[in-house]
């Protein structure tokens, strides 16, 4: 009988931060535990472009680790504004598979909304130019987020994942209508996240990814502690029933979705 420690082969942690101090200082152990849990691939996210060389080096040194790069909205006023040309140049690396994370955060940094919006539009254009999916952080900015994503898509379609989705039903529907993906994090496993689980329950299975956002937002039974990629298995087990799936089938379905959105990652795996 499967247990909470039985591996879920094929799992993909579509969003983590391996370069953050909480993880990089224990990286061999973090990666070993992820493999033991069944996590075969993970995307480590660069949130400040000046740190891109360090994030890239992690991917280059560890099989199964891919990366994405962008300017986090909460850092938009602290970092030089990224250019489309800069992001396009970085995206030529074979292991860089996404643009971001970028987005809007009006919860912690509402005063920087104008520069956040400018930065978001730069990242959208880079996603359009490269064909790589956009990785979106959204908090307390649903209306502006839906508007800017939709305006950009009308100019030129692009792929996108709403990372660690915890926004409202209207933004979820806008994203799904545009063909985007919603990513499930440990938040969906929290006892009081019933409304969020309902949003996911009504979303098509083929638009769902799963992630940790580690070192943050650890799912039960590790809530309140450091998160790490291995714990994506706990989230998978906690939410698979929303689509009437076993955790094993959910792992395989979300891995297939990941390959459909992150096509460069799929090609890298096929070439390995």
DSSP string, 132-186: PPEEEEEES-HHHHHHHHHHHHHHS---EEETT--S-HHHHHHHHHTT-EEEE-G
| Within-domain flag for 264 | yes
Query: What is the C-alpha separation between 41 and 65, in angstroms, rounded?
Result: 6
Asked if the structure places residue 153 within a domain, the reply is yes
Instruction: Identify whether 140 is part of a domain.
Output: yes
* Size of the chain in residues: 272
How much is the pLDDT for 4? 66
Positions in the chain whose pLDDT score sits under 50: 1
List binding-site positions for a divalent metal cation.
15, 17, 101, 137, 163, 213
CA-based nearest residue to 226, from 2, 10, 12, 26: 26
For position 3, what pLDDT does the model report? 58
pLDDT given at position 1: 41
CATH number of the structural domain spanning residue 60: 3.20.20.140
Residue 98 in domain: yes
Quote the pTM value.
0.96
Q: What pLDDT does residue 6 have? A: 83
- DSSP code at position 192: T
Known binding residues are: 15, 17, 101, 137, 163, 213
Number of separate domains in the chain: 1
- Containing structural domain, residue 257: 11-271
* pLDDT value at residue 257: 98
pLDDT for res 142: 98
């Amino acid at each position: 009988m499967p247990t909470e420690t039985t591996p879920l082969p094929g799992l993909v942690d579509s969003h983590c931060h391996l370069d953050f101090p909480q993880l990089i200082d224990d990286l061999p152990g973090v990666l070993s535990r992820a493999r033991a849990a069944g996590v075969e691939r993970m995307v480590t996210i660069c949130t400040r472009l000046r740190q891109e060389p360090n994030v890239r080096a992690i991917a280059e040194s560890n099989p199964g680790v891919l990366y994405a790069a962008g300017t986090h909205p909460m850092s938009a006023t602290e970092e030089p504004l990224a250019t489309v040309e800069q992001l396009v140049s970085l995206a030529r690396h074979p292991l860089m598979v996404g643009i971001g994370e970028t987005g809007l955060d009006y919860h912690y940094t509402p005063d920087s909304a104008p520069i956040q919006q400018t930065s978001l539009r730069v990242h959208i254009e880079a996603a359009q130019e490269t064909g790589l999916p956009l990785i979106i952080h959204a908090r307390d900015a649903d209306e502006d987020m839906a508007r800017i994503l939709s305006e950009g898509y009308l100019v030129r379609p692009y792929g996108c994942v709403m990372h660690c989705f915890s926004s409202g039903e209207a933004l979820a529907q806008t994203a799904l209508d545009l063909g985007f993906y919603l990513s499930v994090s440990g938040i969906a496993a929290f006892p009081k996240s019933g409304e969020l689980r309902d949003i996911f329950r009504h979303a098509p299975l083929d638009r769902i990814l799963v992630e940790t956002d580690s070192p943050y937002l650890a799912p039960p039974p590790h809530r309140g502690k450091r998160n790490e990629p291995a714990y994506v298995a706990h989230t998978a087990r906690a939410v698979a029933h929303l689509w009437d799936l076993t955790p094993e089938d959910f792992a395989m379905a979300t891995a297939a979705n990941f390959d459909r959105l992150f096509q460069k990652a799929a090609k890298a795996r096929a070439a390995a």
